Amino acid sequence: MITTHNLGFPRIGKKRELKFALEKYWKRDITQNELCDIAATLRHEHWQNQEQLDLLPVGDFSFYDQVLDTSFMLGNLPERVQNITDNTLDNYFRVARGRSSSNESECSCIQAGEMTKWFDTNYHYIVPEFDQNTQFSLDSSSLLEQIAEAQQQGHNIKPVIIGPVTYLWLGKAKDESNKLDLLDKLLPVYAELFSELEKTGIEWLQIDEPVLVTELSDAWQHALRNAYHTLQSTPLKLLLTTYFGELQENLQLSCTLPVDGVHIDAINGKDEVAKVIDWLPSHKILSLGVINGRNIWKTDLSDTVKWLKPIYERLQDRLWLAPSCSLLHVPVDLDNEQKLDSEIKSWFAFAIQKLEELALLASTLSEGESSVEKQLAENKAVIDSRKHSSRVHNQSVKSRVLEITDEMGNRQSQYNERATIQRKKLNLPLYPTTTIGSFPQTLEIRKARRDFRVGTLAEEQYRIAMQNEIKHCVNEQETLGLDVFVHGEPERNDMVEYFGEQLTGYAFTQFGWVQSYGSRCVKPPIIYGDISRPEPMTVAWAHYAQSLTDKPMKGMLTGPVTILNWSFVRDDQPRSETCLQLALAIRDEVLDLEKSGITMIQIDEAALREGLPLRKSQWQSYLDWAIKSFRITANGVTDETQIHTHMCYSEFNDIIASIADMDADVITIETSRSDMELLDVFDEFRYPNEIGPGVYDIHSPNIPSVKSIVDLMNKAKQRIPAERLWVNPDCGLKTRHWDEVKPALANMVEASEILRQER
Ligand code: GLN
Ligand code: ZN
């Protein structure tokens, strides 16, 4: 018999119940008991959703983040909350978000824990904090309660924890100490946890060490050996769990650590499964992650069965099956979707449907195809329909991609020549001021968009409402005295969705939410087919905005790499190919904007950096096609047209050469929070074009003073010649209020005038 199991289930709820409960609790609209009841109901439901599996995960539920849960379980709380003893859950929320309730007075707020991306996903965890004095002490109460809860409900379970080495790897030392030195203090706490878990009667424990898919130094490899040798005396059976990629040089290590089984990502690591089987000692079980936990496509069951059959014959009971990783990264239930086109919908599987596929795979293998003939035939029909559908395949798009030439990615002239032409044409002052695109999205704007969407506001009325808003933004910029304008983006709900909705090959769900961090979820659109742009997407708005002013109006677009990285993408062609299709579609828009008289075009690549693969050895090939896609999008314009790009970060020391290679005339980046420290990279690397280092931290309600802006720009001037500097905020202003934005931008303009005089 094959054992089926799951690594983790989304906790947010089919209709984001957990999100709403948390937000109510933070407002104190519900009590802590009520919040806990809702959580228990969700866990109950989620276990029921997974009932067809042999082993259900416990410990995958979290009120905010599983890494923060681990920090609490291991007694590793930041010092700033250690003496607040009122209530564990409130303390937990303080570390997560700086306060336990929205009523908590400003002065009792503490600094929230730093948040960062969980490997290469869009899920963000709270970074564990370490220093050389860090002590650990076990508090397993929450996990034990959930185990008891699941057992009472009669489930066969497998608790899930983060392994000690990955836990250290995820954290950050706040002093000069080496966090690996903490391992010896950490392991006894894990041993203690194991003995607590033994008492619950469980047999298997899933212990996640996804660091095994990253490039590990000798010290980290040694830490893994040390950890699992130290912990091996436990009678619990350990399933060492890896995901998000291939093991590569860690393969042998993963197979030989003293545990009872290994789980590997057999989607990304399919090619190394044979090698793993060869290396794995014969007493160990092998769990294969054969259902993709990172996308929304149905699995080709016949194909998978064909591949698995010989493996099953060889391994027999030693073969377990699971999704490739936790299902945290996919939406919960496809059955909720009422508005998807039925053919397209038939190609998708969300978490619940993925587990059905898993059960089906297992019974096909152990009982033979005839037992599930009907389901397999249905699956085959769907897979075939997707393979051949004219909705997916558009020959003219494919041909266009094949016909891409190097020339298409090159500007007519080198930057220096273009800059001279652009200077003459644009006649901008030194230190030109601009903003990044969006202006505050007021309640009225959101309401108008919503009413238009549901049909209660006629198209003409909607257009007038948006034009009025654009006019308002232009007037404000005029009054403020900015040099380069934007239209304000009132018509956009989201910088990817807005474009996706106007491109062919894109589908949108109603409830396809995926947790991003805490109570925040995103609903990534789905690219299912070849991408084309039937008609201009932004030209009318940009043209209207430009007609209101003599100042240059930036046309505002989202770049192909960002659109790709914030969508669920096709699995039937390489990402690079989809990206090139997007590049051609946005290129058409760029050229149409240029034709309509727009002289500056900003192409946002907010998510370029986050697409970097986990392994550094794979960075260059990603950067090659990502930068190529950007260049094809942007560089078809004449020398006179100025291309801008924007990135919401500036840790690009390691990719600066590629950023420069994009060859945008102007790049705006985030720098204000780091006091321009992030510009250090420009000491070593001579960035050749113009730069706007953000001087106004738009994530904060604080209004930057004139002096602070002047100081920041003076620091920037030490690295980049003044002729090539712009003055702008860090990012778009859509989440701010006008009464914050106006004084902040007024200060920015004033600072820029001072800088010009100082010259
Ligand atoms: N142009 C977008 C805006 O201003 C950029 C947003 C982003 O970079 N995240 O809203
Ligand atoms: Zn940004």
Q: Measured between alpha carbons, how far is residue 670 from residues 645, 650, 686, 703 in Å? A: 12, 6, 18, 16
Which residues in the chain come in under a pLDDT of 70?
A: 105-109, 650, 673
Give residue 670 CA to ligand 1 midpoint distance, Å. Answer: 11
| Runs of H (alpha helix) within 501-559 | 539-547
> Whose CA is closest to atom 6 on ligand 1?
732
> Whose CA is closest to atom 3 on ligand 1?
732
The torsion angles phi and psi of 564, rounded to 5 degrees, stand at: -65, -50
> Whose CA is closest to atom 1 on ligand 1?
437
Beta strands 157-162 and 204-208, pairing class: parallel
> Whose CA is closest to atom 10 on ligand 1?
732
Neighbours of ion ligand 2 (CB under 5 A): 606, 648, 731
Catalytic residue among 393, 646, 699, 737: 699
User: What is the model's pLDDT at position 108?
Assistant: 62
Tokens for 26?
């933070």
Give residue 558 CA to ligand 2 midpoint distance, Å. Answer: 11
The residue whose CB lies within 8 Å of the most ligand 1 atoms, and thus the one to mutate among 436, 493, 601, is 436
Give residue 518 CA to ligand 1 midpoint distance, Å. Answer: 22
Q: Cα–Cα distance between 299 and 301 in angstroms, integer?
A: 6
Q: Measured between alpha carbons, how far is residue 11 from residues 155, 307, 327, 408, 704 in Å? A: 18, 32, 9, 46, 39
Using an 8 Å Cβ cutoff, are 720 and 682 in contact? Answer: yes
User: What is the model's pLDDT at position 105?
Assistant: 62
Q: Cα–Cα distance between 248 and 472 in angstroms, integer?
A: 56
Q: Which ligand places an atom closest to the C-alpha of 558?
A: 1
44 is catalytic: no
Give residue 256 CA to ligand 2 midpoint distance, Å. Answer: 45
User: What is the model's pLDDT at position 106?
Assistant: 54
Q: Which ligand places an atom closest to the C-alpha of 649?
A: 2
Interhelix angle 575-595/619-634, nearest 10 degrees = 20
433 bridge partner residues: 727
Give residue 691 CA to ligand 1 midpoint distance, Å. Answer: 16
User: What is the model's pLDDT at position 701?
Assistant: 84
The residue whose CB lies within 8 Å of the most ligand 1 atoms, and thus the one to mutate among 473, 553, 609, 731, is 731
> Whose CA is closest to atom 5 on ligand 1?
732
Counting atoms of ligand 1 from 1, which one is nearest the CA of 647?
8
Binding-site residues, ligand 1, Cβ < 6 A: 436-438, 489, 495, 556, 604, 606, 646, 648, 731-732, 734
> Whose CA is closest to atom 8 on ligand 1?
606
Q: Which ligand places an atom closest to the C-alpha of 559?
A: 1
User: What is the model's pLDDT at position 102?
Assistant: 77
Q: Which ligand places an atom closest to the C-alpha of 499?
A: 1
